[in-house]
């Protein structure tokens, strides 16, 4: 089953992210895996990814993947890496149990 990143984002994060940020305002080219998941969040370039703290396993369910979606700065995802799992971008993001996603301030890249 093929997923549509735009449909997934609209159904899970609608109202929380800006789905229509112009990619031409990005400070550099973005990897083709990440482009369909590109959004704006808190005024910065982000991609919607599945946060994998290391316990997703080898064959996570679609429900589990969707349940772990969140926007993350493009630079953070590029730095820590990602894999594609069932069409989703999965990344070992730095997560804190109380604070959530923790990223260096310099990873935020504002858009125009």
Task: Return d(Cα 33, Cα 43) in angstroms, integer.
Answer: 22
41-76 pLDDT tens trace: 988 999 999 999 888 888 899 999 999 999 999 999
pLDDT of residue 37: 94
Task: Return d(Cα 13, Cα 30) in angstroms, integer.
Answer: 21
How does DSSP classify residue 26? S
At 46, is the secondary structure helix, strand, or coil? strand
Among 63, 38, 61, 56, smallest CA distance to 48 is for 38
Predicted model pTM: 0.91
């Amino acid at each position: 089953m093929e997923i549509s990143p735009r449909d997934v984002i609209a159904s899970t994060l609608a109202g929380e992210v800006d789905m229509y940020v112009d990619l031409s305002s990005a400070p550099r080219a973005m990897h083709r895996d990440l482009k369909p998941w590109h959004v704006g969040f808190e005024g910065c370039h982000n991609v919607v990814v599945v946060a994998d703290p290391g316990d997703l396993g080898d064959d996570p369910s679609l429900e589990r993947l969707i349940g772990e979606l969140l926007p993350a700065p493009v630079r953070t995802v590029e730095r820590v890496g990602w894999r594609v799992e069932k069409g989703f971008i999965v990344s070992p993001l730095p997560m804190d149990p109380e604070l959530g996603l923790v990223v260096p301030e310099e990873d935020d890249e504002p858009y125009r």
